[in-house]
Amino acid sequence: MKYTLNFLLSSAVVCLSIATSTTVLAKSTINDDKFRQLEEILPTPNIYRTASGAPGHKYWQQEVDYEIEIKLDDKTQQLTGSETLYYKNNSPDNLRYIWLQLDQNRMGRASDFKLTRTAPADKITYSGFRNVIETETFDGGNRILKVTDESNKALPYTINGTMMRIDLAKPLRTGAEIEFNIEWTYALQEQKVLGGRSGYEYFKEDDNYLYEVASWFPRAVAYYDAVGWQNKQFLGNGEFTLEFGDYDVKITVPADHIVASTGKLQNPKSVLTKTQRQRLDKAKKAKKPVLIVTPDEALENEKSRSTKEKTWHFKAENVRDFAFASSRKFIWDAQGYNKGGTDTMAMSFYPNEGNPLWERYSTEAIIHTMEQYNKYTFDYPYPVSISVNGPVGGMEYPMITFNGPRPTLDKKTGEKTYSRRTKYGLIGVIIHEVGHNYFPMIINSDERQWTWMDEGLNTFVQFLAEQSWEENYPSRRGHAADITEYMKSNNQVPIMTNSESILQFGNNAYGKPATALNILRETIMGRELFDFAFREYAQRWKFKRPTPADFFRTMEDASAVDLDWFWRGWFYTTDHVDIALGDIHLYRPDSQNPDTEEAWERALENEKPEFISNLRNKGHWLRTQDKPELLDFYNEHDKFTATNADRNKYNSANKKLEDWEKALLTNKSNFYIIDFNNVGGLVMPILLEVTYADNSKENIRIPAEIWRKNTSKVSKLLIRDKEITAIAVDPNWETADVNVNNNYWPARPIKSRFELYKRKKDDMMRDYNKELKSLDDDEKESGDDK
């Protein structure tokens, strides 16, 4: 300590920061430039995608329109359909073939999904075990019956797993359009048994089915500038990468079914009763949901077994996919929402099993989602927004979402009840799935490649929407502190990992990116800059297909905040945040006045504890007590006494100083130097809450760039007249710091509980046997078998 101070004596105050960096760091640490720009990783900008993250002046995308007729067989749970596909080649390339997705082939016999599924853990639920067995035998693959061109001539095609290639007689020129026809059939899967994002649910009590139908027709694979044909097989996680287009769909179902679907109903007069149409009309301007089919009417419908059929005709413009649901069990409510550029009908379809939860929350949650998402992105553009309750836990399609949570039946009282978890689970999942209309249904990112681009961004806006539902809404994901357990876990891959290879899927693709964006908004960019840039991204890329680079670049381009370090750390590594408070030093300028300085040295000496031997020696015999003549000048004055020579030297040196220099020497401020260690690896802003002796507090927010020249250790100088009594790093837990125990000065105890329990006799015997066995094993291992 003394050495440092003397060192300081000879240097000016301005050199303080240099004075402290005496630690020698490994070269690799010093050169680990976490602020290196991302150009070396990101694709080179071009005429299709600019360096600012916007679509380029030659941006293009394909357009695929569909005319489909589909028939649902309620007896066999089979779908049979035919479609005409109109493919418009807007690319600058000539295409010799066109790839289609047959995602249903995932459930075909010996599919890649089934073959690459690894063995289950030996501890497994009943339903998990049933799923393992049933998946082996179920054949739900797509059977292609016919592929023909516009003049009904057979077209050659090749099926490779979940993809089908149609070979064209002559290349499809840039700007040209082609049409062809496909007929197909496949068996729907029982969702509760086989899982998946669609399927049917069977209700034993009333012998009825509820269908949620998706990925049900051959769809054109996305072809785009950055990837070409998106030719990754569907293994179950990487969802759908599709083109925008217009749909004309006719759905034939039993006459007593109610159909909920993507698109606008074209023939209400032939499928709805007059009462239903009147109620729908009333719903347009209603202040709360209006029942189109009441619970009693739905119960009555459940008993019906019509042998007739009805065809529901829907049209949808500028959508990337199409899904529907059908059942005679549906209650149906609706409420119009018309604000800004949004003019839509929010609608919910649910069986009586969904009440009392669904009638209270579903349609309200749809409207809440649009209201909130519109603020952060763009106005919801479609004519309907639907939430359906069925077997699928949560899944999104354009204009329609499938949401699972339902109340449970209390067997004692016979009443239906729902837990806190189910209530917030339902509101949360509806906000999430309806939110997917924005990401990726309209901001059409490549889901098969990047799950985070839709799930992460959507989960982030979901969090914002949830937080405006009620005060302290219990969001699962979004708050920084909720991601720390994951961030410090071992079994991790970076966010920038392909959808099918992600470990800890929910945390990686939903939780971490959503939290990262919330941290950008609250901590790094601030709400104003973030919201503008995020909205800019949404506006630039609505009805277009962005890539990660387009997002990264837009966020910087629209905010003038260099975030390359943030993308690099949070999206390309598995480092975590752990900033530890290091030493705290208190400095003053050395006055050079020997009287002042010696007195200070003496005070410092007196602050030291007394040595143990000195303490115990108190009062023992001393030679100088018997012979005081041995004492001299040096015993009278301690070693901290200034001499006249010192004083003369000081006076003459002082004369040579300018007034401002003299003033610096007598500066009475406290110069606190606070050391910080980056234990976790991620560089982040350092957020400080400083408490002073008078109990006042100060918050200091230091940008992450403080780490730009040394990413493992930095020191910060605070010049304050007041005395600091406490320091907290990240006092509001906003940076996802995984270990806050090293964030406080003075340190705080880590509070916990001992949990006491009684040991059962059986456990004791089991432990005893285990111990005996491990003793055996030890003996075996130390034997000579090795």
Binding site for Zn ion (CB under 5 A): 455
Integer CA distances (angstroms), 596 to 293, 443, 599, 642, 723, in order? 90, 69, 5, 9, 20
Rounded to whole angstroms, the Cα distance separating 191 from 237 reads 16
| Residue pair 511/481 in contact by the 8 Å Cβ criterion | no
Q: How far is CA 615 from the centre of its chain?
A: 61
**Beta carbon nearer to Zn ion, 381 or 393:** 393
Rounded to whole angstroms, the Cα distance separating 404 from 201 reads 11
Q: Where are the beta strands (DSSP E) in 612-696?
A: 670-678, 686-692
**Beta carbon nearer to Zn ion, 359 or 455:** 455
**Beta carbon nearer to Zn ion, 187 or 457:** 457
Integer CA distances (angstroms), 184 to 140, 141, 235, 310, in order? 12, 10, 21, 20
| Residue pair 544/444 in contact by the 8 Å Cβ criterion | yes
CB of 161 to Zn ion, least distance (A): 24
Rounded to whole angstroms, the Cα distance separating 634 from 631 reads 8
Q: How many CA atoms within 13 Å lie on the side-chain side of 616?
A: 3
| Residue pair 214/386 in contact by the 8 Å Cβ criterion | no
**Beta carbon nearer to Zn ion, 197 or 232:** 197
Q: Which amino acid, one-letter code, is at 21?
A: S
| Residue pair 428/465 in contact by the 8 Å Cβ criterion | no
Rounded to whole angstroms, the Cα distance separating 347 from 655 reads 87
| Residue pair 438/375 in contact by the 8 Å Cβ criterion | no
Rounded to whole angstroms, the Cα distance separating 111 from 136 reads 10
**Beta carbon nearer to Zn ion, 432 or 545:** 432
**Beta carbon nearer to Zn ion, 459 or 547:** 459
538, 534, 486: which is closest to 512 by C-alpha?
486
CB of 458 to Zn ion, least distance (A): 6
> Which distant-in-sequence residues (6+ apart) come within 8 Å of 5 by Cβ?
590
433, 447, 440: which is closest to 212 by C-alpha?
433
CB of 393 to Zn ion, least distance (A): 11
**Beta carbon nearer to Zn ion, 455 or 590:** 455
Pairing of strands 384-389, 400-403: parallel
Q: How many CA atoms within 13 Å lie on the side-chain side of 15?
A: 10
**Beta carbon nearer to Zn ion, 455 or 466:** 455
**Beta carbon nearer to Zn ion, 455 or 556:** 455
> Which distant-in-sequence residues (6+ apart) come within 8 Å of 514 by Cβ?
456, 457, 459, 460, 462, 463, 477, 478
Give the largest Cα separation in the chain, rounded: 128
Helix (H) or strand (E) holding 331: strand 331-339
> Which distant-in-sequence residues (6+ apart) come within 8 Å of 219 by Cβ?
64, 100, 101, 103, 240, 242, 321
CB of 434 to Zn ion, least distance (A): 11
Rounded to whole angstroms, the Cα distance separating 273 from 521 reads 50
CB of 432 to Zn ion, least distance (A): 6
Contacts 24+ apart (CB under 8 A), 222-225: 222/62, 222/446, 222/545, 223/62, 223/91, 223/95, 223/99, 224/61, 224/62, 224/91, 224/446, 224/545, 225/46, 225/48, 225/49, 225/59, 225/60, 225/91
CB of 755 to Zn ion, least distance (A): 37
**Beta carbon nearer to Zn ion, 297 or 455:** 455
**Beta carbon nearer to Zn ion, 249 or 453:** 453
CB of 452 to Zn ion, least distance (A): 11
> Which distant-in-sequence residues (6+ apart) come within 8 Å of 321 by Cβ?
214, 219, 240, 242, 262, 397, 398, 441
Burial degree of 721 (CB within 10 A; 0-12, 13-18, 19+): exposed
Nearest-CB residue to Zn ion?
455
Rounded to whole angstroms, the Cα distance separating 772 from 39 reads 61
CB of 284 to Zn ion, least distance (A): 29
Burial degree of 444 (CB within 10 A; 0-12, 13-18, 19+): buried
Rounded to whole angstroms, the Cα distance separating 542 from 439 reads 9
CB of 363 to Zn ion, least distance (A): 20
> Which distant-in-sequence residues (6+ apart) come within 8 Å of 408 by Cβ?
416, 417, 418, 419, 422
